Structure 1
Amino acid sequence: MVEETVVEKTWRGMLEGHPMARRGDPEVIEAAYAEPRLRVLFPFPSHGALSFHRNTRFPWSGDLPFIASGLQSYTVYGPRYLGVLGEVLTPQEAAALVVAHLPRDCGPAFDGPWPPPEISAG
């Protein structure tokens, strides 16, 4: 049996509503998980937003777009709130918009703090 990665465990816990998992908008979490490029990133729901990281422990990469849930729409922001990439009506559209703005070299997330070992060693 293959052991789950930290990323896989985190997604599963959120999708299944595990009591120890972070809470977020279930529709956004499901829509993001349905996107293969987002599923390999570390998800982090907080304050009405779902962010994605290239690593699994603080400090986070913080360089990827994320989804903020509104009352009747979803806003996709650039990294660190540096601009709005779009406002859409469904979580599926929001997840697709995040994917469209991911860097080409993005994913899968590595286990550990940011920056990656090869950058911090240099």
Structure 2
Amino acid sequence: MSRETVVERTWRMLLERHPEARRGNPEVIEAASAEPRLRRLFPFPSHGSLSFHRNTDFPWSNDLPRIAGGEGRYLVYAAGYAELLGEAATPQEAAALVVAHLPSDCGAAVEGPWPGPGPC
């Protein structure tokens, strides 16, 4: 039997709405989890948005797009809300927009703090 990674466990708990999981927009979480590239990243719902990180513990990579909003208006922002990358009518479109703006070197999240230099 294989061991569940931190990323896998976090996605599972979010999707199951586990009492110990952070709270976020369930439709956005479900749409993001359906995208294979996003499912490999660490999801972090907070303050009405869903961000994605290349690692599973603070300090975060903080260099990937995020989804904010809901109810027919989903906004996709660059890291740190530096730029509005686009607006989508559905959470599925928003998740696809995040995938389209992921860096080419964006692979599976590493467990633990972000190992490299970068924005925090």
TM-score by length of 2: 0.94
Deviation at 1:86, TM superposition (A): 0.3
What corresponds to 1:88 in structure 2? Answer: 88
AA aligned to 1:42 is: F
What corresponds to 1:43 in structure 2? Answer: 43
What corresponds to 2:7 in structure 1? Answer: 7
Aligned pairs, number: 118
Q: Secondary structure at the match of 2:95?
A: helix
Q: Report sequence identity in percent.
A: 72
CA offsets per residue over residues 29-86 of structure 1, 9 Å max, x none? Answer: 0000000000000000000000000000001000000000244300000011111000
TM-score by length of 1: 0.93
Unaligned runs of 5+ in 1: none
Unaligned runs of 5+ in 2: none
Q: CA RMSD in A?
A: 1.3
CA contact (8 A) 2:72 2:88 kept: no
Deviation at 1:114, TM superposition (A): 1.4
Which runs of 4 or more aligned residues in structure 1 lie more than 4 Å from their structure 2 counterparts after TM superposition? none
